[in-house]
Amino acid sequence: MKDESRNSVHIASRTIYFRVTERGWAIVVMPDNFKVDNYYHGVHIHPDRKQLSIHDPEIIYEIIYQHIIREGKIVEDKIREELGL
């Protein structure tokens, strides 16, 4: 059996899923289909797998959460800048 924890938060007609497993973690925003994880390639953003300099998933989660509160959705260019890309 896998050791796993999952959380989800609904804000501004968006859902943020935060999943932590033995292998790593992932943060996904739906329906924007925005994903940040640390599986296989260090901490990176999808779909292009650009590496992030922030490694703490709680800090990344908070940046994404505040972005959605402010913008109402994921604005790709802005969130990438806020995450240091």
Q: pTM value?
A: 0.89
Q: What is the tens place of the pLDDT at every residue in 14-62?
A: 999 999 998 899 999 999 999 999 998 889 999 899 999 999 999 999 9
Residue 12 has pLDDT above 80, yes or no: yes
Model pLDDT, residue 5: 85
Residue 1 has pLDDT above 90, yes or no: no
How many domains does the structure of the chain reveal? 1
Residue 2 has pLDDT above 70, yes or no: no
Model pLDDT, residue 80: 96
> Token pair 């402010």 is at which residue?
70
Model pLDDT, residue 41: 81
Q: Which domain holds residue 57?
A: 5-83
Per the omega criterion (within 30 degrees of 0), is the bond before 31 cis?
A: yes
What does the H/E/C string look like for the chain?
A: CCCEEEEEEEECCEEEEEEEECCCEEEEEECCCEEEECCCCCCEECCCCEECCCCCHHHHHHHHHHHHHHHCCCCHHHHHHHCCC
Model pLDDT, residue 40: 87
Contact 34, 79 (CB under 8 A): yes
> Token pair 């604005």 is at which residue?
75
